[in-house]
């Protein structure tokens, strides 16, 4: 998920929003200002509906953020780093750096989100009751607080559906994991449940679209998104389990071709590149020191008329953004760091700090294909 607007940090975790949040922000504000609030109190000024609508929508996103921050805080407390929190079209995403080590931690990290939403629903509900108790319980303010209570209740309830990647799916995974002791099977089952739930959501969304109206379309998109997320999760689990005993040195491209960081793009493209078939190249300084990483994608982004004056280092991925692994490291650990890096590639460095290899997505894909062919071969020999 792209973080287009950075909001800052909470507990040291970068928090941002994706552009798609603006769509939901506008729709919710519009729904409140044009439908919900005038429906409850028809005689106020339009400006009041819109001001209260905007404030209420901001509070809604704050509730959503509280839900995600609670996941992140519990993850950190269980020893798992949190890369960032992003709000977008379908809610919030907390990107964790690794999986929970125990079913208990998996359960706690997942369940705290819906619990936070329920607590917030309770707080907003209590405020409504208080206002009723002490008079002034008839205003637009009460409607807005009541709406916040309901939407947090819905948010907590929806997220508790036992379907990965929703929180309820993670709770299901933790429960199955605890019972069987097999994390891979538990995660696969939770992802399957997620796929079934997503199909149901798409079908209901289509029915709603045909009978009620546009809101059904949103459910179709949500279902479609959950379906692809559940499938991606299943693939990731299967791939990680097939790579579990593999080390970086088994996969890396050894002794990669390097270029001087001051080489111009024109020199590279016209005189050197035809000799090599790789898609990424480490850049080195005059002393052989690593400087950064360039890729065909980065080179392609520079207009042809600027190639004469652009050096490789000018468009390179800086060294600090390229994950570094050791030859003896298990590949799943490095993969997780690679996924978080801008180019999805890693340097492999030996004990002395010398560059001995590079790992790219095609190295991984080639290895996975090869191990699939080998396992087919084994099956064929058995038949
Ligand atoms: Zn959640």
Instruction: With a cut of 70, say whether residue 379 has pLDDT above it.
Output: no
68 flagged as catalytic? yes
What would the pLDDT profile of 239-254 be if each residue is shown by its tens digit? 777 787 889 999 999 9
Whether residue 383 has pLDDT greater than 60: no
In the chain, list all ranges with CATH 3.10.580.10: 248-373
Residue 138, pLDDT score: 67
Mean pLDDT along residues 359-366: 87
Task: Report yes or no on whether pTM surpasses 0.85.
Answer: no
- Residue 80, C-beta contacts closer than 8 angstroms, at least 6 positions apart: 96, 97, 98, 99, 100, 105, 109
Band (pLDDT 50/70/90 cuts) for residue 19 is confident
pLDDT attached to residue 117: 96
**Alpha-carbon separation of residue 348 from 136, 217, 231, 342 (angstroms):** 66, 47, 30, 17
* Fold adopted by 248-373: CBS-domain (3.10.580)
Taking a 5 Å cut-off on Cβ, the residues next to ion ligand 1 are 113, 159, 167
Give me ligand 1 centre to Cα 120, in Å.
Answer: 14
- Report the pLDDT value the prediction gives residue 310, as an integer from 0 to 100: 92
CA 52 / ligand 1 centre spacing (Å)? 27
Question: CA-to-CA distance for 333 and 330, rounded, in angstroms?
Answer: 6
Per-residue burial over 181-201, b if 16 or more Cβ lie within 10 Å, else e, is eebeebbbbbbbbbbebbeeb
**Mind listing the pLDDT tens digit for each residue in 177-230?**
999 988 888 999 999 999 999 999 999 999 988 887 777 888 898 899 889 889
Across 18-42, b (16+ Cβ under 10 Å) vs e yields beebeebbeebbeebbeebbbebbe
Give the distance (Å) from ligand 1 centre to CA of residue 112. Answer: 8
Q: How high is the pLDDT of residue 239?
A: 76
Note the pLDDT tens digit of each residue in 33-42.
888 888 888 8
Ligand 1 geometric centre to CA of 167 (Å): 5
Out of 31, 34, 68, 95, pick the active-site residue. 68
């Amino acid at each position: 998920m792209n973080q287009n607007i950075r909001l800052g940090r909470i507990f040291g975790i970068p928090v941002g929003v994706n552009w798609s949040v603006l769509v939901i922000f506008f729709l919710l504000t519009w729904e409140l200002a044009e439908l919900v609030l005038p429906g409850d109190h028809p005689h106020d000024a339009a400006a009041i509906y819109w001001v209260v609508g905007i404030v209420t929508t901001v509070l809604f996103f704050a509730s959503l953020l509280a839900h995600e921050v609670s996941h992140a805080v519990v993850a950190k407390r269980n020893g798992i780093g949190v890369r960032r929190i992003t709000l977008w079209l379908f809610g919030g995403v907390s990107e964790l750096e690794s999986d929970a080590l125990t079913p208990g931690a998996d359960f706690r990290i997942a369940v705290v989100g819906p619990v936070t939403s329920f607590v917030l629903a309770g707080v907003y509900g209590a405020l409504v009751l208080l206002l009723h108790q002490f008079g002034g319980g008839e205003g637009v303010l009460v409607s807005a607080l009541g709406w916040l209570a309901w939407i947090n209740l819905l948010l907590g309830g929806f997220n508790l559906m036992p379907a990965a990647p929703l929180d309820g799916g993670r709770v299901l995974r933790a429960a199955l994991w605890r019972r069987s002791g097999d994390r891979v099977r538990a995660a696969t089952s939770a992802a399957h449940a997620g796929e079934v739930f997503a199909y149901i959501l798409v079908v209901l969304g289509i029915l709603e679209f045909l009978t009620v109206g546009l809101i059904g379309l949103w459910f179709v998109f949500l279902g479609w998104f959950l379906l692809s997320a559940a499938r991606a999760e299943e693939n990731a689990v299967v791939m990680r389990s097939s790579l579990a005993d593999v080390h970086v040195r088994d996969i890396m491209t050894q002794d990669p071709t390097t270029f001087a960081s001051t080489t111009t793009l024109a020199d590279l493209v016209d005189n050197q590149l035809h000799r090599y078939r790789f898609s990424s190249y480490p850049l080195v300084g005059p002393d052989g020191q690593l400087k950064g990483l360039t890729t065909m994608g980065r080179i392609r982004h520079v207009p042809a008329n600027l190639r004469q004056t652009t050096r490789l280092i000018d468009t390179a991925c800086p060294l600090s953004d390229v994950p570094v692994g050791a030859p003896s490291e298990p590949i799943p650990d490095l993969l997780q760091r690679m996924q978080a890096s801008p180019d999805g590639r890693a340097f492999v460095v030996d004990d002395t700090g010398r560059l001995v290899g590079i790992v790219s997505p095609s190295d991984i894909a080639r290895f996975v294909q090869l191990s699939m062919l080998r396992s087919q071969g084994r099956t064929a020999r058995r038949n």
